[in-house]
Structure 1
Amino acid sequence: MTKVLVTGGAGFIGSNIVDKLIDEKYYVVVIDNLSTGKIENINKAAVFYGCDITDIERLKIIFRTEEPDYVIHHAAQISVQNSVSNPSNDARNNILGTLNLLECCREFGVKKIIYASSAAVYGDPEYLPIDERYSVNPLSPYGISKHTPEHYMEMYAELYGLNYTVLRYSNAYGPRQDPLGEGGVVAIFTNNLLLGKPLVIYGDGKQTRDFIYVEDIAKANIIALSKGDREIFNISTSSQTSVNELSEILNEINQSVIKPVYLPERHGDIKDSYLSNEKALNQLGWKPEFSLYKGLELTLRYYSLLYDSAEKSYA
């Protein structure tokens, strides 16, 4: 049975990938330090190790024990604000932690590593949609720390023959995304809708993003195990949705009329961003299967059931 090790497998995207791997009969090993991931997110069919990717000796023990065929790497420091306030910690996790994984992959003969990158590497777009040929110009330490490992992937491929695929995600959303802290706008809006709180929008709400459902991301990771060698791909819907439109769709699905509250625009926020997915379509044979409406409907249903269950447990 093919063995896949998933770092960050207790987190939002990682745990959804683990579920899909297990559905497709892979043997799955999860590594997560549970700093932001949750133990209840981990599929019970997976083997779990509580481990930080900055701990190289512990990582080597796990790799020696499990001997994974493939690695899907999602463990990361994901807060832009934290990367600005503590760039050393951001680099330690996202750059040095990834280097530790690459060393383990090299030493223990891993066939391929799939690396989760981000649209944050692109910075403020000069043209739309952004394709993979776009010059990288990150605006935060987080963007830098997500981009830097891409160069190491290429180097390890040239020096040691380690195969890789880099996936740059647009704005991910879906079940298990944390609405608190660095939660995405979909998770935050969903949480507020269900609690009857106003939807806070910074600026005029006309800014646009490219929202990709987490199950589409999971599918891209599975495909990348056998395709897209030594390439970088945008994983996106290749379409724009304004924050105002997002709030309207969520209200429609929820059958509510909670109006947004507009606050001043935040410094450094990008006005418009969406990624071309043409390369992923042509070379991976991947395309998003979930419309924004369907994805939001599934997301809202997930959180509604979660909140109902929590209320009953406290009743």
Structure 2
Amino acid sequence: MSGQQTDTPLRVVVLGAAGFLGSSMTRFLAAQGHDVVAYWRQPRPEIEQLHGVTSVVGDIRDTWILSDAIKGADIVYHFASATYPSRFFSEPTAEYTEALSPLLVLMETAAYHGVRKIVFPSSGGTVYADTDQPRHENSATDPRSPYAIFKLAAEQLLGHATRRGQFASDIFRIGNPYGPGQRTRPGQGVLPHWIEALHHGTPIRVYGDGSASRDYIYIEDVCRLMAISCDRLDESNVFNLGTGVATSLEQLIHTIRRLLDKEFEVIHLAHRSSDIASISLSPDRLLALTPEYKFVPIEEGIRRTLKHHRLLCD
């Protein structure tokens, strides 16, 4: 790894610490010995009781609570969001009120308190144009929803603040994260929805013919690679956070069937016009900082996830 590494524990604030990415990152950073502030609307007892974790209850729009929470912080991971890719069908204004506007307040507050870096999770699965080639960070973008548009707008706002010297920022364009701890949310993540269906003995639902491909990345890889931001507090960059490999829904189903060694019903629904046919993210820029890094293979990640949900025994 390159950058300014430190053996001194950092004060890290994780906004949205109750969500899948936020809770996983909180656990990981606390295990690394950092002083972590878990900022959430609804605390998770199994996380707030971890050594090194301080709980702060508040909405990201609660400016006074937010200001107190990030005072003295070295770095802020911003996972707080109530929006999701498909929400634009019914609530297009939610992206501004619940995503972009709070980010502007966070940026102003972070600059005021001298926070050195903000880390932002963008969406590698929605911001790029639809091609059959792996996307690089300078590949063409073509956001097809307000969710993706505002992700790119957030990137630009953070980049502008960085150029002005207010703080450093790392943008991670994440593929499709999955793994233990992922809950079912509308419009996000096929695996938790499929696992829930398997538990209830109901059919798995697939939009389209199953050929749609995504870059699935195991949650442990997400945390380990996003943690490099703590080692380079004064540097800024945009990173793809994916494996570089696209896996189709059909392949996912085949892998689950093989691991469980049983059949289950699959229902195909109409293709959604907003869905990109195939996406894979070149991780070359990120791996230049971690050249020996090896991703968790998709079959191993699914095996661990099924085991966590007690669908698979040792």
**TM over 0.5: same fold?**
yes
- Give 3-state SS (helix, strand or coil) of 1:42's partner: helix
Q: Distance in 2 between matches of 1:130 and 1:241?
A: 15
The aligned residue for residue 47 of structure 2 is 42
Aligned to 1:22: 30
What is the TM-score when the length of structure 1 is the normalising length? 0.89
Q: Give the TM-score of the pair, scaled to structure 2.
A: 0.89
Matches within 5 A, 1:191-270: 191-227=196-232, 229-270=235-276
Number of aligned residue pairs: give it.
Answer: 302
User: Matched residues in 1 for 2:290 and 2:118: separation?
Assistant: 16
| Structure 1 CA distance for aligned equivalents of residues 190 and 280 of structure 2 | 15
Q: 1:8 to 1:166 in 2, by over 3 A?
A: same
Once residues 61 and 83 of structure 1 are traced to their aligned partners in structure 2, the CA distance between those partners, rounded to angstroms, is 33
1:49 aligned partner, one-letter code: V
Residues 50-199 of structure 1: matches in 2 within 5 Å?
50-64=57-71, 67-199=72-204
- SS at the partner of 1:176? coil
Of 186-195 and 102-111, deviating more is: 186-195
In the alignment, the residues of structure 2 paired with residue 252 and residue 280 of structure 1 have an alpha-carbon distance, to the nearest angstrom, of 32
Gaps of at least 5 residues in structure 2 are 1-8
1:194: Cα distance to partner? 2.6
Structure 1 stretch displaced more, 285-294 or 244-253 = 285-294
Structure 1: gaps of 5 or more residues: 309-315
Give the C-alpha shift of residue 257 in structure 1: 0.9
Q: Distance in 2 between matches of 1:218 and 1:248?
A: 27
C-alpha distance in 2 between matches for 1:297 and 1:6: 28
SS at 2:133 equivalent: coil
Q: Percent identity?
A: 26
Q: Which moved more, 1:255-264 or 1:6-15?
A: 255-264
Report the 3-state secondary structure (helix = DSSP H, G, I; strand = E; otherwise coil) of the residue aligned with 2:93: helix
**1:313 match:** none
What's the RMSD between the two structures over aligned residues? 2.1
